[in-house]
Amino acid sequence: MGTVFTACSSGTGRSEEKPVPNIAVLLTEGFHDAEAYMPMGYLVNKGFDVTVIGPEKGLVKAYNSEFTIVVERDMDELVTDDFDVLVIPGGQAPAALREDPAVVAFVRAFFETGKPVAAICHGPQVLITAGVMEGMTSSGYSGIREELESAGATYMDQALVTDKNLITSRVPADLAVFSRAIGETLEDWK
């Protein structure tokens, strides 16, 4: 049996008046295990709340292992104000996510708020379909370079690329810098 992960609140017990930032991680079947687990674990350990969102609630499985994650909230329940950051891991999931009109509409609306959006590997494909990559500088898996450029983005083959509210990385080897960059966008909350 595979490992099941459910995101959770930080449980820090903090009593300051600022709410703990809530990070949405967008997943469906076929996500890359490390590209979901590492940012989630890092951010929970930094004291942030993480909520897994997706087209449907329930258990979804990684394409590259037996790891599974529980999608806690589906698209019908979401408003952009509920979250402070949106993370889109890669793998095969972005190909399915970009075909769902509700997902694409949410991603577009979230991006347009100006809040941070972080995507790794194939994750930027969802942003391409959402129509928000025109004029942006982005990293991502090298196999989507032409697609990014066709969408009007400038592709950079770097471990971490940030442009306005967009944080992007290429591959699992970039996960440490990717996860840290997401956390750093929220440091002023602490």
Please say if 122 is a catalytic residue: yes
> In terms of DSSP H, where are the helices of 113-188?
124-129, 145-150, 175-185
3-state secondary structure of 2: coil
What distance lies between CA 165 and its chain's CA centroid? 13
Task: From the candidates 122, 124, 136, 181, give the one annotated as an active-site residue.
Answer: 122
Dihedral sign from CA coordinates of 174, 40, 59, 53: negative
- Measured distance CA(94)–CA(98) in Å, rounded: 6
Active site residues: 122
